[in-house]
Structure 1
Amino acid sequence: MRTRWRAGLAAVGVVFVLAGCSAGQGTSASTADSAGSGPVPVAPQQGSGKAGPEKVTPPQPGATDRKLSRSARLELTATKVVDVVAQARGIAQGAGGYTGQESTGDDLATLNLAVPADKLDGALDQLSHLGTSLVKRELNTQDVTEQVVDVEARLATQRASVERIRALLAKATSVSEIASVESELTSREATLESLEQQRNSLAGSVAMATVAMTIRSVAAPPPPPEDHSGFLGGLAGGWHAFLVFGGGLLTVLGALAPFLLFLVPLGWLGWRLYRRRRPVPAAVPEPSES
């Protein structure tokens, strides 16, 4: 009896041991499956010498769309101021611009030119080569992006405000309400027009660049000295000396000519009078032959 009881207990123990082993294997398999199905982290390689891809930050919207107002100033010298002014006008018109305020004289000229902003550099290069020499060249660039954005935002707000006042005016019934709303509408429309003028002025300064020019008159440079070396140089020098001597001689004769007109006739008359008054010498008798 005891033997059977012990055999039964041993069988139950074996069953429990087998069940535990099966559960352990199932848990291990499920753990391995779950680990295999998920992403496996890869450790970075040490000593490879290659850095991972850098994160590139995209540019912010409107970062490259800047509103720039450009202006330049030139100061030139020229022997003929009027000719340089005419050439400057032609360069501005050829670039698609125009001439603004201008004051031209024989010794000094000032004029303002307006050219498209994208053609300012080329126009400046052409204008800088006019005249005798370039004294000064200045280029100024002002970023007006914030001003443009601010004016556009204020314009949108002001337009909405004007529309609201117009809606109130349409609903007004009494004379006092109409007068009050109309007064407010007039004030807000004036503000709107002022903002529009500011917007147009900024747009014009961005689209067209200005060039202020000052041109001063200077004397023409002396001609380069001639080369008088060699036979041809000596011949030219001798001819020049002959011309100088002949010119000097003619100058002296020209200076004496008025005096000769009086001295020559007087001298001739004096010589005639002297001939008449001079005694005639007596005739010497010839010696007779004995």
Structure 2
Amino acid sequence: MNTTPRRARRTAGLLLAATALAALASCTSSGESGTSAAVAPERAAQAPAGADAAGSANGGKAAESGPADRQAAQVSAPGVDRKLARTATLELGSDDVVAAAETIRAEVLAAGGYSGQESVSERTASLTLHVPSDKLDAVLAKLTDGGAGTVRNRGQNAEDVTEQTVDVESRIKTQRASLDRVRALLANARSVPEIVEIESEVTRREAELESLLARRDRLAGSVAMSKITVQVVRADAPVVSEPADDNSFLSALAAGWDGFLTAGGFVLRVVGYLLPFAALAAAVGWVVLRLRRRTRAEPPAAPAVPAEG
């Protein structure tokens, strides 16, 4: 009868202890999870902020260095602000040379250019034309599309005069400064010899300045206007080509005969050039020889005999 209450009390005590342990474990786990949950958002908030700061810094650096690098690349690239003097040569074949020359002249005038020198005949025509440099390619395209004739030969050339232009501009600036200094000395001159000497120096430096200005204008004109040399011939005219190499005996014999004739002609020209001088020298020598012979033929004069007494 006493055993049953004891067992009941023990069972109740064990149940209370188990309940207390379970409550303590649940409190500990909830505290740890709360702490972790509180720390995780803080770290998450800090990490994106740092990442965004680093990303923004790198992005700002890239944005800052990108345009500078591109600008440096453009400045160092060839062809930037270059001064080019362009020329072109063109040979056309046409059935009507005069009409082709008129067509060429009309195209150049329409492009804003002008004709510098012309020589036109029924067989050939030679024209020296000047067009704006920015329209050179368009004019050449119109002249070579078949409207003025068939293209036989074509060539272009571009000379870089950038360094010459910069050098001339620098020398002009220096010369003007020097001229201003000399003119200031002229204003302070007192004696006549000093004034004359300074005026002579001013004149010399003004002449050098005018020469530099004229050279700058020529360079600017060659850059602004391009020259086209056009040669128009009849379409049935043969195209001049380089002769083929011929190593046969007859060709060698012909070359030797031509060389012999050339050498013989040269010798004859030398003889013809020296013949008048040789004739004059022969005449002078003949006169001198005759005089010497006459002098030798005359007997010597007899010595004077002293008188006696």
The superposition leaves residues 96-127 of structure 1 with CA deviations (integer Å, 9 ceiling, x where unpaired) of 01000111111111011111111111100111
Indicate conservation of the 8 Å contact 1:81/1:106, yes or no: yes
Q: Does 1:109 align with 2:125?
A: yes
For 2:219, which of 199, 202, 208 is the aligned residue?
Answer: 202
Write the letter of the residue equivalent to 1:210: K
Residue in 1 aligned with 2:100?
84
Shift of 1:211: 0.5
- Paired residues for 1:43-122 under 5 Å: 56=69, 58=71, 59-60=74-75, 64-122=80-138
Indicate conservation of the 8 Å contact 1:79/1:131, yes or no: no
CA distance in 2, matches of 1:71, 1:219: 28
The structure with the larger Rg is 1
Residue in 1 aligned with 2:166?
149
Indicate conservation of the 8 Å contact 1:165/1:184, yes or no: yes
With over 3 angstroms needed to count, the CA separation of the structure-2 counterparts of 1:163 and 1:201, relative to structure 1, is same
- Paired residues for 1:237-276 under 5 Å: none
With over 3 angstroms needed to count, the CA separation of the structure-2 counterparts of 1:194 and 1:104, relative to structure 1, is same
The structure where helix makes up a greater share of residues is 2
Write the letter of the residue equivalent to 1:196: L
TM-score, length-scaled by structure 2: 0.52
Indicate conservation of the 8 Å contact 1:76/1:130, yes or no: no
Residue in 2 aligned with 1:133?
150
Q: Does 1:211 align with 2:245?
A: no
Residue in 2 aligned with 1:190?
207
The superposition leaves residues 7-51 of structure 1 with CA deviations (integer Å, 9 ceiling, x where unpaired) of xxxxxxxxxxxxxxxxxxxxxxxxxxxxx9xxx99xx9xxxxxxx
- Paired residues for 1:1-12 under 5 Å: none
CA distance in 2, matches of 1:219, 1:108: 12
CA distance in 1, matches of 2:123, 2:81: 44
Secondary structure of the residue aligned to 1:106 is: coil
Identity, % of aligned positions: 46
Residue in 1 aligned with 2:189?
172
Shift of 1:64: 1.4
CA distance in 1, matches of 2:94, 2:154: 16
Residue in 2 aligned with 1:14?
none
Unpaired segments of 5 or more residues in structure 1? 1-35, 45-51, 221-290
Shift of 1:57: 5.0
With over 3 angstroms needed to count, the CA separation of the structure-2 counterparts of 1:119 and 1:132, relative to structure 1, is closer
CA distance in 2, matches of 1:81, 1:212: 15
TM-score, length-scaled by structure 1: 0.56
CA distance in 2, matches of 1:154, 1:93: 36
Shift of 1:132: 3.9
Write the letter of the residue equivalent to 1:109: A
Secondary structure of the residue aligned to 2:105 is: helix
Count of aligned positions? 177
Shift of 1:92: 0.5
CA distance in 2, matches of 1:137, 1:187: 46
CA distance in 2, matches of 1:172, 1:61: 50
Secondary structure of the residue aligned to 1:60 is: helix
The superposition leaves residues 54-100 of structure 1 with CA deviations (integer Å, 9 ceiling, x where unpaired) of 86252338971111111111000111111001011100000001000
The superposition leaves residues 242-265 of structure 1 with CA deviations (integer Å, 9 ceiling, x where unpaired) of xxxxxxxxxxxxxxxxxxxxxxxx
CA distance in 2, matches of 1:144, 1:132: 33
CA distance in 2, matches of 1:152, 1:159: 11
Indicate conservation of the 8 Å contact 2:104/2:148, yes or no: no
Write the letter of the residue equivalent to 1:159: R
Shift of 1:131: 3.9
CA distance in 2, matches of 1:161, 1:208: 32
Write the letter of the residue equivalent to 1:79: D
